[in-house]
């Protein structure tokens, strides 16, 4: 939060952009949380929807005040993946390894253009890998059940 305010003070980002970014990130994380129906280890105990700074939440890692990694590996979370995850525009790593997510991989994840690592192994996901993932130019490591892709140069 502090680095966002410093950025605004230096004129690199408008207050409107800042408010929209905070709203989008908060909305995306809340929607993700709402689609989780099983949380046996209390991974979301400190996810307070009234907190304007998700950087202090378990599994959320930030760089410069922006959510850069969502790492909830091995938490046995159950539910479906929220399409709103695609709104986490600064996300570099989405690590949901060894959980119990089911359903399809939302095509909106393909809009995470800064994503470098996507690890969905150890879940119960079905369907095809969305074609939109092919547009993720920063993606270096793509890890799905029984399939691992690594890409170093495009």
CATH match for 2-150 among 3.40.50.2300, 3.40.50.300, 3.40.50.720, 3.80.10.10: 3.80.10.10
Nearest partner of 57 among 35, 33, 90, 24, judged by Cα:
33
Q: What is the pLDDT of residue 122?
A: 95
What local confidence, expressed as pLDDT, does residue 67 receive?
A: 96
- Residue closest to 25 by CA, chosen among 68, 87, 115: 87
CB 21 within 8 A of CB 84: no
What pLDDT does 127 receive? 87
Domain ranges of the chain: 2-150
**Number of Cβ within a 10 Å radius of residue 65:** 19
For position 6, what pLDDT does the model report? 41
pLDDT of residue 96: 98
**Model-level pTM?**
0.82
- Mark the ranges of the chain whose per-residue pLDDT is less than 50: 1-12, 15-21, 148-149, 152-154
């Amino acid at each position: 939060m502090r680095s966002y305010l410093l950025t605004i003070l230096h004129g690199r980002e408008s207050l409107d952009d800042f408010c929209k970014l905070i709203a989008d990130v908060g909305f995306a994380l809340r929607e993700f949380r709402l689609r989780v129906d099983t949380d046996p280890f209390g991974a979301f105990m400190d996810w307070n929807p009234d907190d304007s700074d998700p950087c202090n939440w378990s599994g959320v890692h930030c760089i410069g005040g922006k959510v850069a990694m969502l790492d909830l590996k091995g938490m046995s979370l159950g539910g479906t993946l929220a399409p709103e995850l695609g709104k986490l525009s600064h996300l570099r790593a989405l690590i949901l390894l060894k959980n119990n997510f089911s359903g399809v991989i939302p095509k909106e994840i393909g809009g995470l253009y800064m994503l470098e690592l996507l690890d969905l192994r150890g879940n119960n996901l079905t369907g095809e890998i969305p074609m939109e993932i092919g547009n993720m130019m920063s993606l270096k490591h793509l890890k799905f059940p029984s399939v691992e892709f690594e890409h170093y140069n495009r």
